[in-house]
Amino acid sequence: MRVFLYTLLSLCVWLSAAAAAAAESAAGDREFQLKTAYLFHFAELTRWPEPRPIVICLRGASPLRKFLPVLEGQTIDGAPVHVAVEANAGIGGCSILFLAENGLLTTDVAEQARAGHVLLVGDSDGFAAAGGMVQFSLRDNKLKLVVNLAPVKSAHLTLSSKLLRMAELIE
Amino acid sequence: MASTRLIRQLAGLCLTLVSASPAMAADDDADALDSTSELLSLSWDELTELKVSGLARQAQTVKDTPAAAFVISAEDIRRSGATSLPELLRMAPGMAVARVNSWNWGVSARGFNDLYANKLQVMVDGRSIYDPLISGVYWGQHIPLLQNIERIEVLRGPSGSLWGANAVNGAINIVTRSAADTEGGLLTAGGGTEERGFGGVRYGQKLSESTYLRGSVNAVVRDASVDMAGVHNTHDTGDAESANFRLDSQLSERDQLMLEATVTRYRLQGFLTGVSSATPPYWRQDDFGKDGVSGSLQGNWTHQFDGERELRVNMAFTQTDWQMATNRMSRSHYNLDIQHSQPLFGNHRLMWGLNYQIIDDRFDNSLTLGFEPDRFTQHNIGLFAQDNIELLDNLQLTLGNRVEHFTYTGWETEPNARLIWTPHKRHRLWAGVSRAVALPNRAQQSIRLFLPVPGQQSLFFLADANQDMRTENVVAYELGWRWQISNRLDLDSTLFYNVYDRIQGVKVAGFTGNAQAPGFPLPILDLSVGNYRHVKSYGLELAANYRVSHDWRLQASYTGIRFDNEADNRQPWFLDPLAEESVNPQHSLSLRSMLDLTDDIELDAWLRYVDRITVNQTRIPDYVSLDLRLGWHPAKNLELSLVGQNLLDGQRPEFNDALYIPVSSQVQRGYLAQISWRF
């Protein structure tokens, strides 16, 4: 009798713990849900030298992979947004490229981005300083942006003043 | 026998958990994607305000609240063009806001509006700012720097079991920004035809890795309003200055500390009340403005224990001193609030707490206005408990009660039961039954007011307090439905039916032959204040939010309210016993549009309709009002704006208080320009 009771009790505790763990991971997800929404706005707040379809690409292992597909088929000024998360796709077709690690920001990638007018976004420390264009940083529980204007300009991209208003700029 | 029952209960509990868990896991991914797509419809400004962890965004918490809740965000405040707190509250459904003159407003939820509306609890970061003398708020004496406000939470309906007495028809919590969110400098200044000059400076600094401090000072100078003929000004000019400091520190991983200090000084002029003397001229009308200083200190400490247990301690001290030609007051108000919350077995979450208040005041009386005794100390103690029970995955029950002991009235109880059901992720239905009380305040308990009867020069009245005044109370029945029609459009509706008992009324007790004012040669009416009336009210509140695109947001709110009260007309009433029916507009509507013309230019419009009312025998016609704002960001840290307020009328009356402010005022059309610079 008593054993049964304890088994039942421990089962309950274990289940509750599992539920709590699930809730915790959901809280961590939120950061990447926000980043997904930011990327959607970036597509709207960036001006490319000529009109092109919006393709948001991802390289590297990032929890963003789970959320980015939400953007597929959304529209910006009537134009549909596409998402490309396969590693082998070329950079040329991307309008926004999210790099999960600074190591992925090779001179080759930077050069292709400059020539192909691709907005390079990342969320690792020092991404903007290392030649990335827009970097997410977490400060006081909010997402902040660090923008390196030099590579943005050399890729002939224009970022909206609305975006720059809340960003920290590296000149 | 008992253990069998225990096993059965435990097994039942586990079964619920087991059956719920896989469903939860499967739903998890879909929910995550769903909540992401909800974020997509937000504007850039809304998005950049969101926090990464902690509570879900406000809209979500509001969505799951089993009560009528509304949030005014920092962006709403910035784009409203409003320069004072009460003007902002006009956005929320269910709120009645009417301007009496430059520095006075009647602000109430769900009717009973008055200059001394006593059924609304108002807090700044959890510290009550309503004045225990009148159980209302002197809105002109609170001039926070609007840029320091993160959001204003407006809760309609009784919430006495959480916020205590006087949260009868609603509670408002003004949440200021954490010092960690306001690093750096801000300079803002503006001026115009009505808001003559206003501005402030703020500077925030990081003291250590986990501690931030900011300070701000601000001031406002306001022009007089115009009289009912629209010819002369009513001399209700004035100025107010305020300083605020806030420190936020993460003491450890589990401890959070907030300290805040505010000092406000004001000089509000105007023809307020006439001073009587026992010899001619008996009364005169003059500048009886109010000169005052109030300061407050508050500390808030939160400790997180293991297992989602949390302890919150809030202490506040407020010192208020003011003087008028007729009276002078000095008051100290101490408040201690402790709140503990913890999950109980399975699906219960228990919250309990206690509150202790000491209010110690002293008056210098005059013939016109006195308080007996002139010195008094109240000790009020409250104890509350609330259980949140998850009956099913999509059904939640909240049961709560607060018992309080008041120096004036003894024990009171404020129970409440609420249910929220989510039949579908786009629909939420909630219902609530609750009781709340409004305390007799210091004025009702001890005032002695000797004035000419409004509109008469040779008839006086003497209103004596009623020591036996009891609490006014309400039993409220509410039903709400929130419908997220699409990712861009949501609708929030509430129906309520309130039964009020022991509502204050003022009767003429007769002529006492001047026994109370010996030697006074003119007739004096004796008035008596008591719990003479019963009132019923019912109404509908609607709020809709439509995000047309990233650049354009529309918000609408509607309030309809009716009163059902009967009065015995054989009684010699002094004030209109059916006041609620006439003083509260039956319909009011607010429509706001926030449009980004370009990335740097914003065009905002705010249209309001308020139905006609009759206050103190003055008919106030219905009105439509339009405010426009043009905002421009010429540089990264600079914002310029032009605002036109009340554009459709040169002037209009909104409210009246013949008893205390003998000269009625009208609100005028106004223009202002403002600049904000961050550094």
**pLDDT over 90 percentage in chain B:** 70
Q: Does A5 contact B7 at a Cβ distance shorter than 8 Å?
A: yes
The answer to whether residue A9 scores a pLDDT higher than 50 is: no
User: How many contacts does A have with B, using Cβ atoms within 8 A?
Assistant: 110
pLDDT tens-place string over residues B134-148: 999 999 999 999 999
Convert the pLDDT of each residue in B277-314 to its tens digit: 777 778 777 777 899 999 999 999 999 998 889 999 99
Chain B hits for A74, CB-CB cut-off 8 Å, are: 40
**Alpha-carbon span B480 to B380, nearest angstrom:** 33
DSSP states of B385-397 as a string? EEEEEEEETTEEE
- pLDDT recorded at residue B63: 83
Residue B101's pLDDT is what? 93
CA distance A145 to A152: 14
**Do strands A142-148 and A167-170 pair parallel, antiparallel, or not at all (unpaired)?**
parallel
- CB A5 to CB B346 under 8 A? no
| pLDDT score of B125 | 93
> pLDDT (tens digit, 9 = 90+) per residue, B115-139?
999 999 999 999 999 899 999 999 9
Please judge whether B18 and A142 are an interchain contact, meaning their C-beta atoms are less than 8 angstroms apart.
no
Mean pLDDT across A62-81: 90
* pLDDT average, residue stretch B181-191: 95
Predicted confidence band of residue A141 (pLDDT cuts 50, 70, 90)? confident
Specify the higher pLDDT residue, B16 or B553.
B553
User: What is the rounded average pLDDT of the residues B514-522?
Assistant: 71
Residues of B in contact with A9 (CB under 8 A): 10
Q: pLDDT digit string (tens) for A105-137?
A: 999 999 999 999 999 999 999 999 999 999 999
pLDDT at A87 (0 to 100):
74
pLDDT in the model for residue A12: 45
Most confident by average pLDDT, A110-114, B48-52, B61-65, B245-249: B245-249
Single pTM value for the model: 0.90
Q: Check residue B550 and report its DSSP letter.
A: T
Interface test with B, best of A6, A30, A136, A170 (most B CBs within 10 A): A30
pLDDT category at A27 given cuts 50, 70, 90 is low
Assign B360 to helix, strand or coil.
strand
Report how far residue B467's alpha carbon sits from residue B529's, in angstroms, rounded to the nearest whole number: 10
Q: Is residue A6's pLDDT more than 80? A: no
Q: Which two tokens stand for residue B14?
A: 């586990």
pLDDT of B2 over the 50 cut: no
Shortest Cα distance from B14 to chain A (angstroms)?
6
The 10s digit of each residue's pLDDT in B495-514 is 999 999 999 999 988 876 56
Distance from CA of A30 to the nearest CA of B (A): 6
Query: Measured between CB atoms, does B6 come within 8 Å of chain A?
Result: yes
How close A22 comes to chain B (CA, Å)?
8
CB contact under 8 A, A74 and B40: yes
| pLDDT recorded at residue B183 | 92
pLDDT higher than threshold 60 for residue B54: no
Residue A8 has its nearest CB partner, among B11, B47, B51, at B11
From the candidates A147, A162, A163, A168, which should be mutated to test the interface with B, based on the most B CB atoms within 10 A?
A162
Q: Kindly give the pairing relationship between strand B290-304 and strand B310-323.
A: antiparallel
According to DSSP, the residues that pair with B405 across neighbouring strands are B381, B411
Q: Say if CB B336 and CB B315 are below 8 A apart.
A: yes
Q: pLDDT category, B665, cuts 50, 70, 90?
A: very high
Write the pLDDT tens digit of every residue in B218-252: 999 999 999 999 999 999 999 999 999 999 999 99
Q: How many CB atoms lie within 10 A of CB B592?
A: 21
- Could you tell me which residues are beta bridge partners of residue B155? B69, B171
Does the pLDDT value for residue A22 go beyond 60?
no
For range B605-629, the mean pLDDT: 95
Q: Are B654 and B622 in contact (CB under 8 A)?
A: no
| Residue of B14, B20, B33 with shortest CB distance to A70 | B33
**A48 to chain B nearest CA, in Å?**
16
Q: Which residue of A has its CA nearest to B248?
A: A140
pLDDT recorded at residue B582: 92
How far apart, in whole angstroms, are the C-alpha atoms of residue B294 and residue A128?
Answer: 49
Q: Work out the pLDDT band at B20, boundaries 50, 70, 90.
A: very low
CB atoms A41 and B47 under 8 Å: yes
Which of A12, A27, A44 is opposite residue B17, by nearest beta carbon? A12
Question: Using CB atoms and an 8 Å cut-off, which of residues 329-348 of chain B contact chain A?
Answer: 346
Structure tokens at B197: 């000059």
B39 at A interface, C-beta within 8 A: yes
Q: How far is CA B499 from the centre of its chain?
A: 21
Quick one: pLDDT at residue B4? 53
Is A132 in contact with A152 (CB distance < 8 Å)?
Answer: no
Global ipTM: 0.85
Task: Count Cβ neighbours within 10 Å for each residue of B358-367 and write b for 16 or more, e otherwise.
Answer: ebebbbeebe
Using the predicted structure, report yes or no on whether residue A7 has a pLDDT greater than 90. Answer: no
Model confidence at B622, pLDDT cuts 50, 70, 90, reads very high
* B7: chain A residues, CB-CB within 8 Å: 4-5, 8
* pLDDT score for B163: 87
Picking from B49-58, B444-453, B481-490, which range would have the lowest pLDDT averaged per residue? Answer: B49-58
The Cα–Cα gap between A33 and A40 comes to 11
pLDDT tens, B73-107?
999 999 999 999 999 999 999 999 999 999 999 99
- Rounded to whole angstroms, how far apart are CA atoms B415 and B435? 6
> CA B48 to CA B44: how far, in whole Å?
6
The answer, yes or no, to whether residue A72 has pLDDT greater than 70, is: yes
Counted residue by residue, chain A has a size of: 171
pLDDT at B10: 46
> What secondary structure, in 3-state letters, does B130-198 show?
CECCCCECCHHHCCCCHHHEEEEEEEECCCHHHHCCCCCCEEEEEEECCHHHCCEEEEEEEEECCEEEE
Strand partners, B594: B553, B604
Interface subset of B 627-666, CB within 8 angstroms of A: 633, 636-637
**Residues of chain B neighbouring A47 (CB-CB closer than 8 A):** none
pLDDT of residue A2: 55
Say if residues B214 and B248 touch (Cβ distance below 8 Å).
no
Q: Read off the tokens for B596.
A: 């980004």
Question: How sure is the predictor about B659, in pLDDT bands with cuts at 50, 70 and 90?
Answer: confident
**CB A41 to CB B28 under 8 A?**
no
Q: Is A102 helix (H, G, I), strand (E, B) or coil?
A: helix
- CA–CA–CA angle B457, B460, B462 (5° rounding): 155
What percent of chain B is modeled with pLDDT above 70?
93
